[in-house]
Structure 1
């Protein structure tokens, strides 16, 4: 009875949006735990103190998506923007 109230077709987009948000959070958490040079999970790594690993931090910050969009214009729909802004 309770399941029929909550699991309706109208609720599926809410489930999908929540699932995508949880997936993005989990991805970012795993990325930070495994790749961030400032996060040290092991006891030996934590005992090392502050490290001057600027190159490793630069590699972490310049990930694939950031390098892909570096030369792109910050527009969501460039075709529509060009249509309305460029004079004929």
Structure 2
């Protein structure tokens, strides 16, 4: 029984599926850990839960303006600009 399951799922055709699902799970885990550790609205410890609503705008701004957002802010919204330019610009 176990041998047939291994033979069914561990084929070279299934590797891209494993990669896509693994990438999606990795992104979800990264976002969950980021929210638990750095989000000012999430309070895990009991001592922090009693504080209620915080008006700490600096901490919220720091969370919202992370490094990736700062990096892509002034860039063109294109994934591959050279390929887009090749196909869209006339010769």
1:36 to 9, 28, 39: 39
CA shift, 1:4, in A, is 0.7
2:64 to 37, 61, 64: 61
What residue ranges of structure 1 are gaps of 5+ in the alignment? none
2:82 maps to 1:79: yes
| Alpha-carbon distance between aligned partners in 2 of 1:85 and 1:34, rounded to the nearest angstrom | 44
RMSD: 1.4
Instruction: Provide the residue aligned with 1:20 in structure 2.
Output: 23
Matched residue count: 88
What residue ranges of structure 2 are gaps of 5+ in the alignment? none
Taking structure 2 as the reference length, the TM-score comes to: 0.87
Taking structure 1 as the reference length, the TM-score comes to: 0.90
